[in-house]
Structure 1
Amino acid sequence: MPPLAARHPSPALATPRKQHGMTLVELVITIVIIGIAAAALFSAMATITARSADPMLRQQSLYIAEAYLETLLALPYVHLDKDHELAQGEGGSPKGLDGKVIDELKHYGVATDVSPGTLNGVTAKRITVTVEDPSGKKLQLVGWRTCYGEYDEAGGDACI
């Protein structure tokens, strides 16, 4: 055998080269898998987006109820009766401290109830605030107010 033939093997005996890139079948399978994953992701996002207003409505309802409850709890014990304007609210729109309806919250309904009761054997008043959001869901907060040894305007004991 001549010396040149020994140095250069024939193409049939050469080792196969490494493949670069993808075949058409692999590419189509990859596109199908990505398409299915994207469809599932978009479906989940649509469900989440459709319900994204619910937490906001609930949070606003909670803020309204907390504001009303804190205001009623801060009133003197003697003023917590059915004659007070905040204690007799039945489903009206939320009002500010000036007594006017807050336009941005006019689609909410607020009802308050103050009733006498006892809390661990102590005379108290049970304050219930119910807020209904625009979707019709209700949120209710309950607080108790006892007399702290206060006096009414005439100087008498307000706790009686």
Structure 2
Amino acid sequence: MFIVIVGAAIAGVLPVFIQATASSVDPMIRRQALAVAESVMSEVMLMPFTFCDPDDDNAETASSGAGCATTAESLGAEGGENRYGTPQFDNVNDYNGFSMSGINDITNTAVTGLTNYNVSVAVAAAALGSITAGSGDALRITVTVTGPGNTSIVLDGYRSRHAPNSP
């Protein structure tokens, strides 16, 4: 009788353990996706936010795009800039439209174990407090990471320009 009762109890509890074990990988995938998103967001946020391309002679002093000697910044990379080679991204705006399939570090070396993750970055003018979107003095940066099992993480960050530029 004891064996029958214990057997029935184990049969009832066993599916719970199986489900818990099968689901325990899911938080790891979300944590990896979040770590990738935070890393890319930090990389973008640490870039200068200037009116002119940082290679422009007037980048440090221009108070508008009209003050640039050669190249005013606009959304998206200019002049063949990319994340990995020369010329390299050098402004927050350059990351607009950037994406990668499989995660690579800044030297374009694949990160082991992250080949099933994808990243996309969008940068757009934004309103932020008293800053209007039309002024171009604030940007909304959206980093989207997708991973195995339909995992999706979206991070939004804001970057504002200070007088006259923000290195």
TM-score by length of 2: 0.66
Residue 31 of structure 1 aligns to a residue in which SS? helix
Aligned match of 1:38: 10
Letter paired with 2:76: K
Q: State whether structure 2 residue 83 is matched by structure 1 residue 69.
A: no
Larger radius of gyration: 1
CA distance in 2, matches of 1:99, 1:145: 26
CA distance in 1, matches of 2:46, 2:7: 59
Aligned match of 1:109: 118
Superposed CA deviations along residues 58-79 of structure 1, whole A, max 9, x for unmatched, are: 0000000000111111111136
Aligned match of 1:94: 103
Letter paired with 2:124: S
Question: Does the C-alpha gap of structure 1 residues 44 and 133 become closer, same or farther in structure 2, counting only changes over 3 Å?
Answer: same
List alignment gaps of at least 5 residues for structure 1: 1-27, 150-156
Letter paired with 1:133: G
Q: How many aligned residue pairs are there?
A: 124
CA distance in 2, matches of 1:37, 1:91: 49
Letter paired with 1:114: V
CA distance in 2, matches of 1:126, 1:117: 6
CA distance in 1, matches of 2:31, 2:23: 14
Aligned match of 2:65: none
Superposed CA deviations along residues 43-91 of structure 1, whole A, max 9, x for unmatched, are: 1111111211111100000000000111111111136841164513235
Aligned match of 1:133: 147
Q: State whether structure 2 residue 140 is matched by structure 1 residue 146.
A: no
Aligned match of 1:82: 76
Shift in Å at residue 134 of structure 1? 1.7
Report 1:21-36 matches (<5 A).
28=1, 30-36=2-8
Tell me if the contact between 2:100 and 2:118 (Cα under 8 Å) persists in the aligned partners: yes
Bigger RCO of structures 1 and 2 (CA < 8 A, at least 6 apart):
2
Tell me if the contact between 2:101 and 2:116 (Cα under 8 Å) persists in the aligned partners: no
